[in-house]
Amino acid sequence: MNYKIIRLRDMPELKGQAARWFHEKWGIPLEAYLESMEACLKGDGPVPEWYVAMEGNRILGGLGVIENDFHDRKDLTPNVCAVYTEEDVRCRGIAGALLNFVCDDMKKKGIDTLYLVTDHTSFYERYGWEFYCMVQGDGEPDKTRMYIHRMNSKT
């Protein structure tokens, strides 16, 4: 498998395709992705940022980094969000490569701690993430798991 991880800032022409792809995977309004990606392309700060793993013109996987991934702990920021890998290419290291890439990229930008909300209980630990606490998702009846990744320590 020959894919490349691309930062949206480095290929802004992918914005429309990436926004549609994330929208189809997560059901969040297309406009929300477009707005966040516009802020990414216009902004001077490290967040928001969006990444895709591409094989040719096909998006195989992707994720973003935003201030808050729709939960009540606004102090736990920034958040990795929208982590997704196409079903037909899962278990080939793409999600792990994306997670490692985003951690390295954020560390270069001066961010050494990232947070992530997920229902998964073992996947992220493989990549140095640790369970941190339970958070209340906006409009969600039950709390969900918040993970933390500290780039300044080796895990």
Q: Which pTM value belongs to this model?
A: 0.94
- Asked whether the predicted pLDDT for residue 76 surpasses 70, the reply is yes
Question: Using 50, 70 and 90 to split pLDDT, how confident is the model at 2?
Answer: very high
Report the percent of the chain where pLDDT is more than 70.
98
> Is the pLDDT reported for residue 57 higher than 50?
yes
Q: Can you list the domains of the chain with their CATH numbers?
A: 4-150 (3.40.630.30)
Query: Average of pLDDT values for 102-109?
Result: 96
pLDDT at residue 155, rounded to an integer: 42
Per-residue confidence band for 44, with pLDDT thresholds at 50, 70 and 90: confident
Percent of the chain with pLDDT over 90: 90
Cα–Cα distance measured from residue 122 to residue 44, given in angstroms and rounded to the nearest whole number: 35
pLDDT for residue 121:
82
Return all residues near 70 (Cβ < 8 A) that are at least 6 apart. 117, 137, 138
Here the tokens at position 14 are: 């992918």
Q: What is the pLDDT of residues 5-30, one digit of tens each?
A: 999 999 999 999 999 999 999 999 99
Distance in angstroms (rounded) separating the CA atoms of residues 147 and 58? 29
User: pLDDT for 127-153, tens place per residue?
Assistant: 999 999 999 999 999 999 999 999 875
Instruction: Count CA within 13 A, CB hemisphere, residue 81.
Output: 21
Q: What is the pLDDT of residue 5?
A: 98
